[in-house]
Amino acid sequence: MRRDARALLHDILQAADDIAAFTDMSLDAYLANKPFRLAVERQFTVMGEALNALSRFDPALAERIPEMSRLIGFRNVLIHRYETINQSTVYDHARNSLPAFRAKIATLLAKLDRA
């Protein structure tokens, strides 16, 4: 089934919200909670997949997401180089980089909804 840009952006927002919920704790608590770490990795993977699909489906829209290639690359590391994952770095991205990225995606989605 072919997805549209709105659905892909919505998937990204949902994944970002899930990551925020799973990392609403201290780093030590996060590191001690393997199910939450796995859930966060999964949601970053979902984001990377949705961004990759968006780049094929609507390249012009995808170009408006400067972090796109980094997040797709991060997805690739999670999938193909899992043994190199630094959980503190994942947590740091989730807590410090993701909120601004989520806001950009929400703005893009709102613009699409108004169009």
**Is 75 noted as a catalytic residue in this protein?**
yes
Q: So what CATH class is 5-114?
A: mainly alpha
From 37, 75, 93, 102, the catalytic residue:
75
Q: Alpha-carbon dihedral of residues 106, 67, 97, 9, nearest 10 degrees?
A: 30
Percent pLDDT > 70 in the chain is 98
Q: Is the pLDDT of residue 1 over 60?
A: no
From 2, 3, 10, 80, the catalytic residue:
80
**Is 93 noted as a catalytic residue in this protein?**
no
Q: What is the pLDDT of residue 115?
A: 72
Q: What is the pLDDT of residues 23-34, one digit of tens each?
A: 999 999 999 999
What distances in angstroms separate CA 87 from CA 4, 20, 75, 79, one per listed residue? 32, 15, 14, 14
Q: What is the pLDDT of residue 2?
A: 53
